[in-house]
Homo-oligomer: A and B are copies of this chain.
Amino acid sequence: MTGFTQPVAQDVIDAMARLKDVAVDTPIVRSDRLDAMTGARVFIKLENLQRTGAFKFRGAYNCLSRLDRTTCPDGVVAYSTGNHGQAISTVGRMLGIPTTVVMPSNAPANKIKKARENGARIVLYDRERQSREAVAAELAKEGQYAVVPPGDHHHVIAGQGTVAYEALQSLSARLGRDAVDMIVVPCGGGGLSAGTILAVEAAGAKAQVWASEPADFDDTRRSLASGQRETNPAGRVSICDALLAPVPAELPFSINGERLSGVLTADDATVMETMRFLFDECRVVVEPGGAVGLAGVIAQARSADADRLKGKTILVVASGGNVDPQLFATAILGEASSASA
């Protein structure tokens, strides 16, 4: 935790004010079929309809709009599996801040292309052989940049917290105070989970916060169990490209480790099936990592622990919608394809 400032609940409220009329107040949808499948009352917050197609815009804007430009005359460096990089490049363009984005060379082509279109300089690296932090640090030596990590920054975490804060405001107005029992969010490094925990406190709500992870990238689940940050074994693959951080980020885990209620998981086949469900039932495009929250709920509903969901009111965040067309086509074409995924 050296050098980090831990964000607090008030930071989420401040971020809400800063994001007003800048971020999209994204819609919340529901489905009779989903409620029947889960035995719960499920609300889905569509952050795939956020600017840049992912909640990452919120953290990026909250962070970059507070930047002291005299400390980083050459702009901002971000390392990102895609959505954070796209958010940083978009916000950089909006605020006139030069951006450099470090991305894995196997990131979806559409994510690389869009960051480039925003005027960002793109530096690719090999995810299997290089550390992205080392690449970013090397770049930072070339000039006076600020490095904006996707999770380890209090302004980023506070910005991500506005997803749940906004949703809780909306659902309180519709359903009454304390109507929401659980909030489930996709989890890679853990920034969204940590922000959500602060949002619940800021809203004075009682909801439990659960993370949901790809089954083979369950570092936060194992870290919660052991009490320390556990890494994912090398060499694993998943379609959830947005959630492949090798280890929980330090600052988010300082919050998640104490206050997360638990972690759900979903395998890739369930994620593909969930993408198809969201296509068919809600007519929206959600990327694999963005669908992991709902996929975790669906997996839970089929498990021996299904009773945990019964009668609950659950807010699930669909966190992003930037997916390669080929993968999305495979997901929506169904049975045969998703079984082989």
Contacts and interface: CB of A to CB of B under 8 A. Distances in A.
Interface of A: 24, 26-27, 29, 48-49, 53, 110, 276, 279-280, 282-286, 321-322, 325-326, 328-329, 332-334
A29 B51 CA distance: 10
Given A29-B49, A325-B332, A333-B326, A284 B283 contact: yes
B334 A279 contact: no
Nearest to A321: B283
Contacts of A110: 280
A333 B26 CA distance: 27
Interface centre among A27, A53, A322 (most CB of B within 10 A): A27
Contacts of A329: 328-329, 332-333
Contacts of A282: 49
A333 B325 CA distance: 6
B333 A49 contact: no
A332 B27 CA distance: 24
A26 B53 CA distance: 18
B283 A279 contact: no
B321 A325 contact: no
A24 B325 CA distance: 28
A242 to B, nearest CB: 14
Contacts of A333: 325-326, 329
Contacts of A24: 29
B286 A283 contact: yes
Nearest to A281: B53
A115 to B, nearest CB: 14
A122 B133 CA distance: 60
Nearest to A330: B329
A27 B282 CA distance: 13
A183 to B, nearest CB: 21
Given A27-B27, A329-B333, A49 B284 contact: yes
A48 B53 CA distance: 18
